[in-house]
Amino acid sequence: MLKITKKGDKAWVTFSFVPESECEVFLCGEWSEWQDEKMKVKKNGEHYLTKVLKCDASYEFGYKVNNIWIFEPEVETVESPFGSKNSLLKL
């Protein structure tokens, strides 16, 4: 799930993901050159991370859960070079 708040030329994007079981979840995207960013965990098991990104841009991203690549169902997807799909965030 995504929550987007735009202010001027920046957007605060909160990425949220609820895994089926207790595990670590990482957010990976173009903004960080695809480096794993460990998501924080709420008491209800929801994983989240807020990023400040530039508006008028598009970013590919995905979630890594137990080394399995998962795309965000709320946004459009694009094919990745690895045969999977990346989520496409358009700000």
8 Å CB contact between 50 and 28: no
Find the helix or strand (DSSP H, E) in which 81 lies: none
Answer whether 58's CB lies under 8 Å from 88's CB. yes
- Output the average pLDDT for the chain: 95
pLDDT digits (tens, 9 = 90+) for 29-61: 999 999 999 999 999 999 999 999 999 999 999
Confidence of residue 16 (pLDDT cuts 50, 70, 90): very high
CATH number of the domain enclosing 21:
2.60.40.10
Give me the number of domains the chain comprises: 1
Q: How far apart are CA 32 and CA 21, in angstroms?
A: 26
d(C-alpha 73, C-alpha 50), whole Å: 18
Quick one: pLDDT band at residue 78, thresholds 50, 70, 90?
A: very high
Instruction: Give residue 18's domain range.
Output: 2-90
Helix (H, G, I), strand (E, B) or coil at 38: strand
- In this prediction the pTM is 0.91
